[in-house]
Chain A
Amino acid sequence: MKSDWLTASSFEQTQDLIAAITTLSIHAKLVLAGRSDVAGADEVQRARERVLDFLQRFQRVLESVETSRDRTAVGTDPRFGELATRYLAQKERRSERAPLYTISIGELERLVQSQYPDDLPRLVECLHDLRRLVEHHVRADVTGLLGEG
């Protein structure tokens, strides 16, 4: 029996997440530049909900890792657990200056939902870091399903 159901499921979720992060990033940059977005309000809202849903799941996994005796995430795809571990490692590394690792996930949720233009530059920076974190994580899924390409 094939064993790539987990890879396929993870591929679908993370690819859509990367697209949603990018939609929000473009939207924020265009608002900052005073331009109207090609993407409709519905599309931007769907992207916002997608990112928020991910952040809520991510927060639960982070809590699971932080409270477990072995710092292991349970009840989730181990690769998602690894993503949380990598995030925590970056956050703990004092030399790390990327904005994503200087704020809490709760604060990022607030930025994603914020209507204040002053929050947008910070949001853009954090979305950039979040996308890099997730992209690094999905490489194995892409290779697993579509080959080395």
Chain B
Amino acid sequence: MRDRLQRRNRDLLRDIEVLMRAVGEARIPETLQTYRARLLTVCAKLHTLVQQNLLYLQIGQTDILEDVLVITQYSKRRFDLLSTHLAMPVLRAKVDDRLCLGIIAWQHQAQPQTTSFPPVFCDGEWGIWPFSEMGIPLYYVPSVHQRGLRFLALSFHETGHLLYLCHKKELDDLVAELQENVADMLRPLSQRNDRYAEDQAQHRQRIVNTWYAWAQELFCDAVGFTIGGPCYLYAFSHYLNMLHTDDFYQQPQDLALSSHPVTWLRIRFLTERAAAAGFTEIARDIDREWRGFAHMMGIVEDYHGFYHERLHSSVTQTIEDMLVETAPRPYTPEEAAGGGWDPNVDSPIRLLNWAWQCYLADPDGYPAWEPDQIQEFLDAIPVA
């Protein structure tokens, strides 16, 4: 057992060294330098841990072998995470990455809580692995969206998950209150003491549990709109409106396992927020479009008890409180108005709003308009 553990740890040590060399030698854009340095620090700590394992194995104390095995397993998992995911943005870095890195870098700098996190992303469906303790939250961005302006506002939603972790205790308390309200709404006035009551209680528990993730998703949608304004609303609606039935309606068993509320419900909360912020026309258009598709598909709004209108004010108030607690940097009226962009004066938010205005005004002419604007944005950030 001891010999095998020694072999495993020696192999792991060499693998970490190979990975560190590859990461250190990779040619990367300037914007990724901080991430690379952070990644190498994580690798170096792992290297030290594995060396420590080998020292423990030399001591010759039998009762710690099980513990050394556990640390070896931990080290292997950490290495797999580094080599198969976290190193990818460095090892596969491209010049094209600068646009997306620039937007993530700008928003991390715009929120005081996230300034220490270096910008980084991988190819994939929109998402984030918010490894806040390692200090390297990894965004996932579809490859086509990395190269254009229109959908980059969706990264603001992902930053919402990071903000949640930065204020986890306070936000968990707010979500707990909301979950209590959900439970109260679902609890019958009088309770029976039989099998039926037990099933009902289990169903109620599933719904209450589901709201832990749903509340965070609705909060992240609100963060996205707060930072980006209309560009976030357009990006969200266009990206998520795949015209799948699932976007409008889901079976109870699917709702119980879901981490996101039904997209139509998210659109409802988001368009209400946009309307309240003064974007009534945009909100009405998007709402009408979604209702039109639902009507065409013969779908009637039904959330099988996972959402009810009686929860509306409670959900809205919780999201408001979460926004107050986290204070994401809000768009300014000038940024929301778009209509132009000066890299020396304006933030990227104005550019992203302008991009949607240009696209909506002339979708066919948009591909010719976009490259010059991207170049202007890139000219304003450090070169590789």
Residue of A nearest to B70 (CB): A22
Residues of A within 8 A of B78 (CB): 15
Determine the distance from Cα of A6 to Cα of B180 in the docked complex, in whole angstroms: 21
Complex Cα distance, B179 from A76, in Å, reads 10
Q: Is B320 in contact with chain A by the CB < 8 A criterion?
A: no
Q: How far is the CB of B261 from chain A (nearest CB, A)?
A: 11
Nearest Cβ on chain A to B246's Cβ, whole angstroms: 13
A16–B80 CB distance below 8 A: no
Contact between B74 and A15 (Cβ–Cβ < 8 Å)? yes
The 0/1 profile, CB within 8 Å of A marked 1, for residues 336-369 of chain B is: 0000000000000000000000000000000000
**Which residues of A in the span 48-84 have a Cβ within 8 Å of any Cβ on B?**
64, 68-70, 72, 74-78, 81
- Nearest CB on B from A94, distance (A): 23
- Is A9 interfacial (CB 8 A cutoff)? yes
Residues of A within 8 A of B127 (CB): 1-5
**In the complex, per-residue mask of A14-50: 1 if CB is within 8 Å of any chain B CB, else 0:** 0110110011011001100101001100000000000
CA distance A72 to B179 in the complex (A): 10
At the interface, yes or no: B25 with Cβ under 8 Å from chain A? no
Cβ-closest chain A residue relative to B56: A38
Query: Which residues of chain B come closer than 8 Å to A12, judged between CB atoms?
Result: 131-134
Residues in chain B within 8 A of chain A (CB atoms): 49, 52, 55-56, 59, 61, 63-64, 67-68, 70-71, 74, 77-78, 80-81, 84-85, 124-134, 140, 154, 157, 161, 165, 172-173, 175-177, 179-180, 183, 187, 201, 204-205, 208-209, 212-213, 240, 258-260
Whether, in the assembled complex, A142 has its beta carbon less than 8 Å from a beta carbon of chain B, the answer is yes
A2-B126, A38-B59 given; name 17 further pairs at CB < 8 Å: A1-B126, A1-B127, A1-B260, A2-B128, A9-B131, A29-B64, A33-B63, A35-B61, A69-B183, A70-B208, A74-B176, A75-B173, A75-B179, A77-B212, A78-B212, A81-B209, A146-B80
- Which residues of chain B come closer than 8 Å to A69, judged between CB atoms? 183, 187
A→B interface (CB under 8 Å): 1-6, 8-9, 11-13, 15-16, 18-19, 22-23, 25-26, 29-30, 33, 35, 38-39, 64, 68-70, 72, 74-78, 81, 131, 142, 145-146, 149
Q: How distant is A16 from chain B, measured CB to nearest CB, in Å?
A: 7
10 contacts between A and B (CB under 8 A): A1-B260, A2-B125, A3-B213, A5-B161, A12-B132, A15-B74, A25-B64, A26-B64, A81-B209, A146-B77
User: Which of B55, B179, B209 contacts A38, CB < 8 Å?
Assistant: B55
Q: What is the distance, in angstroms, from B9's C-beta to the closest C-beta of chain A?
A: 13
| Cβ B56 vs Cβ A1 within 8 A | no
Collect the chain B residues with CB atoms within 8 Å of residue A22's CB.
67, 70-71, 74
Interchain CB contact (< 8 A) of B70 among A6, A77, A78, A131: A131
When A30-B64, A74-B176, A75-B172 are in contact, do A15 and B131 touch as well, CB less than 8 Å? no
Give the nearest-CB partner of B205 in chain A: A72
Provided the pairs A2-B126, A29-B64 are in contact, do residues A39 and B52 lie with their beta carbons within 8 angstroms? Answer: yes
B208 touches A13 (CB 8 A): no
Q: Quick one: given A5-B127, A33-B61, are A18 and B133 in contact (CB under 8 Å)?
A: no
CB-CB nearest in chain B for A138 = B77
Q: A2-B127, A16-B133 are in contact. Are A74 and B64 (CB under 8 A)?
A: no
* Min CB gap A149→B, angstroms: 7
Contact across chains for A13 and B133 when beta carbons are under 8 A apart: yes
* A-B CB proximity, top 8 nearest: A75-B176, A2-B127, A8-B129, A3-B259, A78-B209, A74-B179, A74-B176, A75-B172
Q: Is the CB of A70 within 8 A of B77?
A: no
Residues in B with CB closer than 8 Å to A4 are 127, 129
